[in-house]
Chains A and B, each alone.
Chain A
Amino acid sequence: GDSVTQMEGPVTLSEEAFLTINCTYTATGYPSLFWYVQYPGEGLQLLLKATKADDKGSNKGFEATYRKETTSFHLEKGSVQVSDSAVYFCALSGNTPLVFGKGTRLSVIA
């Protein structure tokens, strides 16, 4: 079945550092790909999405490109802030509504 694998955390970065969180997927057909973020004590929020190959999703300085050839959707940000500290979930929507990765906890220190 469909599955998502994302890098294990936690990830700790200093403010203004570059962020990459790797995400790869296995799916039949052409899934939509998502990054969701969960801030401390809050529910999940959509961060960005891409619906077809080579699409780039972007929001709040975060970017991810749908790479069909490598079945990847890595999340990047050029300069992280303390307020980006959260858990990030990669997800796909194919034959089921959403299949999530295990989540990567990011802590950004000043």
Chain B
Amino acid sequence: SAVISQKPSRDICQRGTSLTIQCQVDSQVTMMFWYRQQPGQSLTLIATANQGSEATYESGFVIDKFPISRPNLTFSTLTVSNLSPEDSSIYLCSVPKGRNRRETQYFGPGTRLLVL
């Protein structure tokens, strides 16, 4: 199984600022996924980050608000821009077990964001 770490584990931010979340995997992976888990809610896929190409965003999520970088096969960042209290959530990255995006996914521990 993949070992995934995220930084920071939690943060409190002021509205209007931005937060960049890092995701590090202990092995090379083609795809990485970013999810949002709003308080008391399920997980929603934000985007798929592929190395060497632009991220693919799901409906309702845009690059200006959630810019993603994928500089190599073990690392990705998600920035949440122009923060508002509605962005208070847990943000998780994940990677598939194999090359198929339908495979089992391994999740990082999550980043808990509170926006004041």
Which residues does A use to contact B, with CB under 8 Å? 31-32, 34, 36, 42-46, 49, 89, 93-94, 96-98, 100-103
Contacts and interface: CB of A to CB of B under 8 A. Distances in A.
B42 A97 contact: no
B101 A100 contact: no
A4 to B, nearest CB: 8
B45 A43 contact: no
B42 A100 contact: yes
B102 interface: yes
A44 B92 contact: yes
Interface residues of B, number: 22
19 contacts: A32-B102, A42-B109, A43-B92, A43-B108, A43-B110, A44-B43, A44-B92, A44-B94, A44-B107, A46-B104, A46-B106, A89-B42, A93-B103, A94-B102, A97-B48, A97-B102, A98-B43, A98-B105, A103-B42
Given A43-B92, A44-B92, A97-B33, A102 B104 contact: no
A108 B101 CA distance: 34
Given A43-B107, A44-B43, 20 more contacts: A32-B102, A34-B104, A42-B109, A43-B109, A44-B92, A44-B94, A46-B104, A46-B105, A46-B106, A89-B42, A93-B101, A96-B58, A97-B33, A97-B96, A97-B101, A98-B33, A100-B42, A100-B43, A101-B42, A102-B41
Contacts of A102: 41-42
Given A97-B102, A100-B43, A103-B42, A45 B33 contact: no
